[in-house]
Amino acid sequence: MNRATINHDLLRWARERRDASFAQIGRSLHVGVDVVRAWETGESYPSFAKAQALARFLKIPFGYLFLTKPPSDDIPLPDFRTIGDRRHGAPSPDFLDLCNQVLLKKEWYREYCEQISSPPVRFPDRGMNAGIDSLSEAIGDALSINAALRRECRDWSSYLTRLSQNAQSIGILVMRSGVVGNDTTRPLDVAEFRGFAIADAYAPVVFINSRDAIAAQIFTLLHEIAHIWIGQSGVSNPDPTEFSTNRFEKFCNAVSAQVLVPHEEFETVWIETPHGDSFLSSIARHFWVSTLVVLRRAFELNKFGREEFFRLVKIEKEKQQVRRRTSGGSFSTNLLARNSKRFTDGVLRAVRENQLLYRDAANLLGMGPPALSRLVEKYAF
């Protein structure tokens, strides 16, 4: 009566999906290898307590172990991830779980907006037909990206924060995290994806992989915002030095570069900056972008040829291999970054107005009910 009659084929699928061995499962659940093997062959069944522990170890919902067949591992968004224009491999379980979590938040926020009769988000000059220059200008104006904003920022991190805040002020949910939910044992892989965008009239979402370098996150943020602007959802791995043949990626890369490093200002800075060892770094600091974005703009504006461009790109990429951002910050700061302040505001308002249960709000925000109670009491809207 205490046995959980799980589907052994589902257990095999989940174990292989996590790339876990019988020995690893056995050590985690304090059972022998032969016991785990017997569960997978169907010769025996685990207790409910062990089955629940098994699901936790394999990072799947408990109910999955009872399905008749494995759920689809297809990415629920258009996949624009490429490495040198070659399609990326199969998505990892961590990425799929993250993507589904964000989609769940998006759906809740959309329903909430409709419930409170919030107007849809409007984007001027929307669509690729507007052209790179027109769309870049519209995005730059909407986010107040200009020389004055850059002067107000002390570093790349503060610039990324300001851009994220400005994007949220016009209705875009900007979420940034380096782990699945709030599970620090499940880091996100920058090589797999840098960001994704979910176009929606009421709840457009941009997600940024915060394990990437800060300067790279800035480019990704604008790339994904460009996706939102043209109404095209998708998962991306944008690289400013790769000129993708995919029309959406190519267009959004070009828009991102133009918004962050406007043509006319770049020409002036290029002339006025001393051409020494720190030449590229000085220009990157002026615009708060990476040196790779500077190289892209220089190549686009015919400052040097293709061979020199790729030579310099190789040098800069080798330097940047060690420049990955590590997670940190306070609980509240990380909470707002992970969920977006706009989304968090909506969830907490719904709780205060008795439109959402504490349990459901805690699940949406990825925190425990006691912590949520404290947050609701002190959070200022």
Distance CA 177, CA 329 (A): 12
| Distance, CA of 287 to CA of 323 (rounded, Å) | 18
- Count of structural domains, the chain: 3
In this structure, the answer to whether residues 244 and 119 fall within a common structural domain is yes
Domain co-membership, 91 together with 34: no
Residue 330 or residue 172, greater confidence: 172
pLDDT in tens, 131-180: 999 999 999 999 999 999 999 999 999 999 999 999 999 999 999 999 99
Give the span between the Cα atoms of 70 and 137, in whole angstroms.
46
Average pLDDT (247-266) is 95
214 with 105, same domain: the answer is yes
Q: Among residues 242, 260, 278, which one ends one of the domains?
A: 260
Instruction: Give the CATH number, domain containing residue 12.
Output: 1.10.260.40
- For residues 40 and 134, membership in a common domain is answered with no
Looking at 217, 244, 260, which one is the last position of a domain? 260
Question: Looking at the structure, do residues 135 and 235 belong to the same domain, yes or no?
Answer: yes
Residues 59 and 88 in one domain: no
Alpha-carbon gap, residue 313 to 171, rounded angstroms: 35
Q: Is residue 191 part of a domain?
A: yes
| Residue 101 and residue 30 share a domain | no
In this prediction, residue 272 has a pLDDT band, given cuts at 50, 70 and 90, of very high
Residue 284 lies in a domain: no
pTM for the model stands at 0.85
Within a domain: residue 294? Answer: no
What's the rounded mean pLDDT across residues 93-112? 91
Q: State the pLDDT confidence band at 323, using cuts at 50, 70 and 90.
A: low
Domain boundary residue among 243, 260, 277?
260
> How far apart, in whole angstroms, are the C-alpha atoms of residue 229 and residue 132?
12
Within a domain: 163: yes
Domain shared by 111 and 37, yes or no: no
225 plus 371 within the same structural domain: no
Least confident among 35-44, 172-181, 189-198, 234-243: 234-243
DSSP run (H or E) holding 248: helix 247-260
Identify the domain containing residue 355 by its residue range.
331-378
**pLDDT of 293 over the 80 cut:** yes
